[in-house]
Amino acid sequence: MIKYTQEIVSGTWSLIVGLAITIKYFFMPVVTLQYPHETLPMTPRYRGHIDLVFDEKLGGTKCIVCGSCQKACPSNCITVAGERPEGAKLKVLTQFTLDFTKCSLCGLCVESCAPGAIDFSKEYNLAGYKNEEFIFDLLKRLEAKKS
């Protein structure tokens, strides 16, 4: 009889404790982030697809068209092309495309780049209907960044 009563009392008490916890949570502010309406700043170590770095001093890319990123890429995603204008000493970048459908974000291209012309972007809103939408013209993205 004592054990029976004890069980009822302790059981009821534990139920009340449970209710107290949930009502406390009910009045606490919500912690969910309403994603499409609000976003958090992306962490600096996030690896998006690669992007050309905009250099303030040069007013453009730091790329010297050495092609080492193209060689370093294990999946052959990167196509780099450049030409030397009349009388100029260095090559000028004319094409830098990334086939993101094959990219595994290994970062070997970023490591191999001696002048530090490419880096990971913070792009994560990537969705599309066609393969072609994921072949990025990085030079065009750089032009867009400039303006």
Partner 1 sequence: MSIHPEVLRLLAFLLGIIGFVAMNAAYLVWLERKEAGHIQRRIGPKEVGPFGLLQPMADGLKLMTKQLIVPEGADAILFKLAPILVMTPAIMSFVTIPYGETLVPRNLDVGLLAVFAFASVNVLGLLLGAWGSRNKYAIISAARVVSQNVAYEIPMLVVVVTLVMITGTLNLQDIVIQQAGGFWHWNVFKLSASPLMPVAFIIFFICMLAETNRAPFDMAEAESELIAGAFTEYPGMGFGVFFMGEYANIVVGTSIATILFLGGWQCPFGLFPGVHWFMIKMYFLIFTVIWIRWTYPRTTFYGLLNLSWKILIPISFFNLILTSAMLKVF
65 Cβ contact list (under 8 Å, min separation 6): 80, 81, 82, 91, 92, 93
Residue type, 6: Q
Percent helix, percent strand, percent coil in the chain, to nearest 5: 35, 20, 50
Instruction: Give the torsion sign (CA, 92, 98, 99, 105).
Output: positive
Closest contact distance (angstroms) between CB of 12 and partner 1 is: 8
Amino acid, res. 110 = V
* Minimum CB–partner distance for residue 15 and partner 1 (Å): 7
- The 12-41 site mask, x for binding partner 1 (CB under 8 A), equals ---x--xx-xxx-xxxxxxxx-x-------
**In sequence order, which residues have a C-beta less than 8 Å from that of residue 12 and are 6 or more positions away?**
none
CB of 39 to partner 1, least distance (A): 16
Element containing residue 118 per DSSP (H, E): strand 118-120
* Binding of residue 1 to partner 1 (CB under 8 A): no
CA 29 to CA 74: how far, in whole Å? 48
CB of 40 to partner 1, least distance (A): 17
Q: How far is the CB of 32 from partner 1 (least distance, A)?
A: 5
Nearer to partner 1, 28 or 127 (CB): 28
Q: Tell me whether residue 19 or residue 90 sits nearer to partner 1 (CB atom).
A: 19
> Which residues bind to partner 1, rule: CB under 8 A?
8, 15, 18-19, 21-23, 25-32, 34
